Structures are given as C-alpha cells and as structure tokens.
Amino acid sequence: METTQNAETPLRPEEELLFIRKIIDESRMTFMENGKPYIFWGLIVAIGMGLTYLSALTGKDLYLGEVWIGLIVLGWGMIAYYVIQKKKQPARARSIIDRFQGAIWGACGGTLGLSLILILNFQHAGDTPSIHPIYACFISSLILGIAYFLSGIANNLNWLRNIGFAWWAEAVITYLWPSVHVLGIYAGMLILFQVVPGIILLRRYKRITTQTITI
C-alpha cells in the first residue's frame, strides 16, 4: 500500500524565523503612522494663522473669512482623498492600537474644532464672562499637547510623546503673554511641531515599507 505523503513540507527553523519576522514587519508597517494627516493639517492651519497674523499686523482684512473657508474645505478634501485611498488597500483587522490612535485624534480634533467655533463666534454679552479670542491658541495648544502625548505612547515613540511638552510650553507662553504675536508663534509651532514630525513619520513609514518589501 502506498503511503500518503503530506503535501506541505515542514519549514526549517531558519525559514520559520524569517517567516515570523516578515509577519511582524508587515504588521508593524500596517499599524504605524505615516504622518500624512499631520502634514496636511499642519500646513493648512499654519497658512491660515500666518495670514491672520499678517492681517493683524497690517490692519488689512486680506479676505480672511473666505481664506479660512477655502483652507478648511481643501483640508477636508485632502483628508477624504486620503481615507478613500486607504480603503482601497487590502482589508485588514484593526488592532487596539490602531483604534486608539484614531480615537485620540478624532476626540482631540473634534474638541479643538468645537472650542474654536464657540470662542470665535459666540462671545457672551453684558457682564457674563467669556473667553477672549486671543486665548484660542492657548486652548488649541493644550489640546494638541494631549493628542501628541497620547499618540506618542500609542506608537511607542518617545520623541512624538515629548512633542506634547513643547505644545504645553507654548500654551503657557500664549497664556502669560497674550498679544497679537501669539498668532505668529502658533503658526511657527505648527511648522516645527506638526509638519516636521509628519515628515519624519512619513520618511520612517517609507523606510520600513521598503525594508519589508525587500525581505
């Protein structure tokens, strides 16, 4: 009687290690931040804040209302395109870290947007105290500090976590020395501590992607 031979040949130990390493690298690549949303919104808000600062210094309107509406529409359009492109990728299970990362920026971004809308558009009348618009940057910096601190922990990146301390330091400065110049400071912070980190994350993502493909 002929014996039935197993169709699957067992992997050698070194092949098993290579296979496990490939799975780990692919998982790390899948769940890591690629930095694009950081760059998108960092540039868009920095441009808006820079123009607002220039308008305040020169006393000219510069069509800021239209500019901000256009920038926000552009930003949401870019994010929508980014999400659509992500959905075209092969389906995958979402890890707890993946969900946590999305929850961090969803909650903080929503809180930041709601705070700015209320502060800038719904000032209290009479003797009822309200938050002066000059403190909008202070509140935004506090929220961004929370988002970066938690995001750095979720991604196991100490340097990303430490950016939260930079945003909190900026919040202290804008609170203690409120002036029109906080607009320029905030625009500069967005370039240094949102756009630049986004570029670093994107380069890291591409590097790990390339290494995974070549394995």
Domain ranges for the chain, please list them.
33-87+96-214
At 140, is the secondary structure helix, strand, or coil? helix
> For 117-160, what is each residue's pLDDT tens digit?
777 777 766 666 678 878 889 999 999 999 999 988 888 889 99
Identify the top-confidence range among 15-29, 33-47, 80-94, 120-134. 33-47
- Return mean pLDDT, the chain: 78
> For 77-101, what is each residue's pLDDT tens digit?
877 777 777 666 655 545 566 677 7
The answer to whether the Cα torsion of 206, 189, 191, 140 is positive or negative is positive
Encoded tokens for 22: 């490939």
The Cα–Cα gap between 51 and 121 comes to 19
The model's pTM is 0.75
The Cα–Cα gap between 42 and 26 comes to 28
Stretch 163-189: mean pLDDT, rounded? Answer: 93
Q: Angle 181-190/136-154 helices, nearest 10 degrees?
A: 20
